[in-house]
Structure formats: structure tokens, C-alpha cells
């Protein structure tokens, strides 16, 4: 598949979704998105439902937060809307995708392909995915840069220091 010029739909136009959009623009890809609310200052086309977004995308990228509303946001209806020439990329959370439906669609040819670095029941990956030519599987390594891991370690140390000094935590759990 050639990426240039493909219509890219992004679910979740936050910091990561925006970064994906900017990179796809470099390949002359039209960008559209679905988010809980339309972003008035966005230059990208907004769709009010994930099904509409999938129907109008060649590649659908899941980059939203996992919430009760986004659990299985990728279901049979969305997969069928994306269709046999469409590709699903999930870099969000495994539970965004109804994995049983995804596997069925890939095996039956109702979905063109998938790129996954997260899985619904991690660390388990459905055995059927390993033998498919139209699937790319990776471990979730998006944060595996020296800079990011250093920043993560610094944050842990900062939280520990704040805790033991009786100060507010830098990243408190809610």
C-alpha cells in the first residue's frame, strides 16, 4: 500500500493525534477526525461519528484516551465502514478495539489490514494475527526513547522527593 495521498481519519485529535496529522500532511494525506467535540480552530474536517469518519477514511488511526465511552469504539460497524480496502492503526489502548471483531474482519477480508502495538488482553495477542500477511504487530514502544525514559525516571524521582518532603506530588493519582 502506498501511504501518500491516502485519507487519514484520526480518532482523538489531542496532542498525539495532532502530531500524527502533521506527519501525515507531509505525505499529502487529507486529514479528518472524530473527537468528543469539534475543535473550532482545527483546519481538519470533523465527523460527528466514528462510523462516518471510518466511511470516509482509507486509514483510521486510534489515538484517543481510554474511557467508558471509547471502550470498543472500534466495533463491527466501524470496521465494516472502513471496509476491505481500509487499514486500522491502533496506537491508543488495546481495549479501544473489539479484538474478536477485528480478527474476524481481517480473516474474512472485510478489513484491508491493521497495524497494532496494543492489544485488548495484553500481554496476550490473538494467535490468528500472527499468520496474517495484512497485519503488523509491534510491542507498545512509542515511549522507548532515551529522552522519554529519562524524563519518566526524573518524574518518578521528583514524585518520591515531594512525597518524602511532605509536598504535593508532581503527578498525583486521582
Q: Is 140 among the residues known to form the active site? A: yes
DSSP string, 16-36: HHHHHHHHHHTTT--EEEE-S
Residue with cell 492503526: 89
DSSP string, 62-98: E-PPP-TTTTT-B-HHHHHHH-TT-EEEE-S-GGGB-
Q: Is 147 among the residues known to form the active site? A: no
Q: How far apart are CA 9 and CA 18, in angstroms?
A: 11
| Residue in 23, 36, 38, 122 annotated catalytic | 122
Q: How far apart are CA 85 and CA 24, in angstroms?
A: 18
Q: At a CB cut-off of 8 Å and minimum separation 6, what does 167 contact?
A: 161
What cell numbers appear for 4 in the block? Answer: 501518500
Q: Is 149 among the residues known to form the active site? A: no
The answer to whether 24 and 17 have CB atoms below 8 angstroms apart is: no
| Residue in 18, 93, 99, 120 annotated catalytic | 93
Q: Report the catalytic residues.
A: 93, 122, 140
Amino acid at each position: 500500500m502506498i501511504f501518500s495521498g491516502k485519507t487519514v481519519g484520526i480518532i482523538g485529535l489531542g496532542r498525539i493525534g495532532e502530531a500524527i496529522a502533521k506527519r501525515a500532511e507531509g505525505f499529502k494525506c487529507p486529514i479528518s477526525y472524530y473527537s468528543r467535540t469539534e475543535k473550532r480552530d482545527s483546519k481538519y474536517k470533523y465527523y460527528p461519528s466514528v462510523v462516518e469518519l471510518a466511511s470516509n477514511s482509507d486509514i483510521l488511526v486510534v489515538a484517543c484516551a481510554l474511557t467508558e465511552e471509547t471502550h470498543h469504539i472500534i466495533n463491527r460497524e466501524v470496521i465494516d465502514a472502513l471496509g476491505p480496502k481500509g487499514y486500522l492503526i491502533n496506537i491508543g489502548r488495546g481495549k479501544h478495539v473489539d479484538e474478536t471483531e477485528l480478527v474476524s474482519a481481517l480473516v474474512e477480508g472485510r478489513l484491508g489490514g491493521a497495524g497494532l502495538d496494543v492489544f485488548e488482553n495484553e500481554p496476550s495477542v490473538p494467535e490468528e494475527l500472527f499468520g496474517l500477511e495484512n497485519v503488523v504487530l509491534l510491542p507498545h514502544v512509542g515511549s522507548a526513547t532515551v529522552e522519554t525514559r529519562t524524563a519518566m525516571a526524573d518524574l518518578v524521582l521528583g514524585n518520591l522527593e515531594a512525597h518524602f518532603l511532605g509536598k504535593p506530588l508532581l503527578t498525583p493519582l486521582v
